[in-house]
């Protein structure tokens, strides 16, 4: 994961380490390389500039320059700023006693939404909850059958009916109550691109079903474009969090590092493989550690 940025960063930081005492010029030069590594990793331009400015302001302070190990101090600053860039994130999934918790997943077609719905159901089941998967993607051919197959694999019930997406979601909450399920996961329809009709349909579901949390499933392979997608969905739906998929692939880091800074919406889970047990909590500290190598 993120090999390019890790290589670029460790190279820049290794050079700083090799110098012993540092001047503000040395630091600026080192941070220019850090900046280049970020841009090559497809991190949003404004995010990179703000990040570098923050690190530089802290790294060129007298306390750092006067130390015998300034480079270590700068690495710590970069780490802390990476954590701040991607966090904080609340890892909890809400619980309630009056009715089932409703989690609405949305996202573009092919982002991994249906797979992620099943992964999330499995995660919740392993945490002792009783999820109900809801096949509300009546747009993509085969999506309903796909969810039913995945549900069978993890032994989680799947609610479906061939009416309208809004009715499926509404009735599913009733079905969850009857089946004593405590968490409803809505797999809504996506489109190849963001369009008004999609957003209206999602807003309608959002208004009528009042989900407790709305998560955007977004493909890390699209890099910083993920932040633009998240912004558009957040404008329409007020997202609680993003789930970043396909981080096991050849991704450069642009999505993971841009989304929170551009939209204010944190990443809560990451998909790291096609199999259903390949969903992890997103922990900014762990990700910052991975990026720094």
Which single residue is written with the structure tokens 């110098």? 19
Nearest approach in angstroms of CB 247 to ligand GDP is: 7
Kindly tell me which residue out of 1, 56, 246, 265 binds ligand GDP, with binding defined by CB under 6 A. Answer: 246
| 21, containing H or E segment | none
Binding status of residue 245 toward ligand GDP by CB under 6 A: yes
Which of 111/263 has CB closer to ligand GDP?
Answer: 111
Q: Is the peptide bond before 88 cis (omega within 30 degrees of 0)?
A: yes
Q: Is residue 268 close enough to count as binding ligand GDP by CB under 6 A?
A: no
Cβ atoms of 201 and 96 within 8 Å: the answer is no
Specify the stretch interacting with ligand GDP by CB under 6 A; choose among 54-62, 70-78, 175-183, 243-251.
243-251
Give the integer Cα–Cα distance in Å for 199 and 188. Answer: 11
> Whole-number minimum distance, CB 205 to ligand GDP, in Å?
16
Q: Which stretch binds ligand GDP (CB under 6 A): 31-39, 122-130, 200-208, 267-275?
A: 267-275
Q: Which of 126, 129, 232 is nearest to 176 (CA)?
A: 129
Helical segments of the chain, H only: 3-17, 24-40, 45-59, 62-65, 70-86, 113-126, 143-154, 165-178, 196-209, 225-237, 254-263, 284-292
Contact string (CB under 6 A) for ligand GDP, positions 10-39, x = contact:
------------------------------
**Which positions make up the binding site for GTP?**
107-114, 187-191, 245-248
- The answer to whether residue 111 forms part of the interface with ligand GDP (CB under 6 A) is yes
Binding site for ligand GDP (CB under 6 A): 107, 109-115, 140, 190, 245-246, 248-249, 271-274, 278
């Amino acid at each position: 994961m993120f090999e390019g940025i890790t290589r670029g960063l460790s190279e820049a930081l290794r050079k700083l380490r090799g110098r012993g005492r540092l001047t503000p010029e040395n630091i600026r030069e080192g941070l220019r390389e850090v900046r280049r590594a970020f841009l090559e990793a497809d991190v949003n331009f404004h995010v990179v500039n703000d990040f570098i400015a923050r690190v530089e302001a802290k790294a060129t302070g007298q306390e750092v320059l006067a130390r015998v190990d300034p480079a270590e101090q700068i690495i710590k600053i970069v780490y802390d700023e990476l954590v701040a860039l991607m966090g904080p994130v609340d890892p909890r999934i809400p619980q309630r006693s009056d009715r089932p918790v409703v989690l609405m997943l949305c996202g573009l077609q092919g982002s991994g939404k249906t797979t992620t719905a099943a992964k999330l159901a499995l995660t919740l089941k392993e945490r002792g909850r009783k999820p109900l998967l809801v096949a509300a993607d009546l747009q993509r051919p085969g999506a309903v059958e796909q969810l039913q197959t995945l549900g069978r694999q993890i032994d989680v019930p799947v609610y479906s009916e061939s009416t309208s997406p809004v009715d499926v979601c509404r009735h599913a909450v009733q079905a969850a109550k009857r089946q004593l399920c405590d968490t409803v996961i809505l797999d809504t329809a996506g489109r190849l691109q963001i369009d008004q009709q999609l957003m209206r349909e999602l807003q309608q579901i959002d208004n009528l079903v009042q989900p407790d949390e709305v998560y955007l499933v977004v493909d890390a392979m699209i890099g910083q474009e993920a932040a633009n997608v998240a912004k558009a969905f957040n404008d329409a739906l007020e997202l609680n969090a993003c789930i970043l998929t396909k981080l096991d692939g050849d991704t450069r880091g642009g999505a993971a590092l841009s989304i929170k800074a551009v939209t204010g919406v944190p990443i809560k889970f990451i998909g790291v493989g096609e199999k259903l047990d390949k969903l992890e909590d997103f922990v900014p500290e762990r990700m910052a550690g991975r990026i720094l190598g």
